[in-house]
Amino acid sequence: MKTKKVLHGFLTAAAAVSLILILLLSAFEIAAYSDFGFYQKEYEKYEIQETLPMEMDDIMDVTEKMMSYLRGDREELSVMTTIDGERQDFFNEQDRFHMGEVRDLFLGGFALRRYAAVILAAAVVLLLILKADLKRILPKAYEITVGMFLALVAALGIAIAVNFDRCFVIFHELFFDNDLWMFDPATDYMIRMLPEGFFFDMTLRIGGFFVAFLIFFELICIGLRIWRKKKEN
């Protein structure tokens, strides 16, 4: 009986963690790809055209092709466009190297989501085979995991609010083993198109979608709890 209980706990924890990862990575994908109008609003907000002499249609074309590359839908990061009246490639070699590393992170995240989906499905199937009370143990495991995860998110959110610049640097130092993520606005068009404020706003956007997903599943948990109580009564 004890072994079975431990196994139930392990499988429900695996399912809950996998679901949270799926929701987080899906929130990232939706925030980044569902509405390119967001990018245009950001460019207007930060007056990108004041420092990047391009038509907005061209900036958006570069953006969409860059994001397509990061998703793995384009093989090369090369976009011919018109800058200050001259036809040229928007990206330079440093851009291509760094964005190649960013692409690896994107694709790694999407792969992690697929693995999490497999683990989630396998955990649920095994719990069904073990005749576990899914309506009771899964919501409980989800709420415990969300509570722990939100504590971490809250700490990160406070750090970002206090000093986003430092958090931005730490993120890059953790995920990249070089300093080629540091660009010079005088020579690099990409950093002019994507100022630091843009990344702050995108972080908030991802967080908004993620919290919405968490609330949605919490409402499901509440609904299941109410249903169980009514059934018991």
Cα(41)–Cα(206) distance, integer angstroms: 16
Residue in 181, 184, 183, 185 with CA at minimum distance from that of residue 170: 181
Rounded mean pLDDT of the chain? 90
Lowest mean pLDDT among 56-65, 120-129, 163-172: 163-172
pLDDT tens digits for range 30-54: 999 999 999 999 999 999 999 999 9
Lowest mean pLDDT among 3-7, 10-14, 144-148: 3-7
Confidence bin at 14 (pLDDT 50/70/90): very high
Cα(210)–Cα(22) distance, integer angstroms: 10
Provide mean pLDDT across the span 100-107. Answer: 94
Residues 67 and 33 sit within 8 Å (Cβ to Cβ): yes
Residues 192 and 185 sit within 8 Å (Cβ to Cβ): yes
pLDDT tens digits for range 209-225: 999 999 898 888 888 88
Burial of 174 from C-beta contacts in 10 A (0-12 / 13-18 / 19+):
exposed
Beta strands in 54-200 (DSSP E): 80-83, 86-89
Residue that is written with structure tokens 């998703």 in the block:
71
* Helices 196-232 and 134-162, axial angle in degrees (round to 10): 160
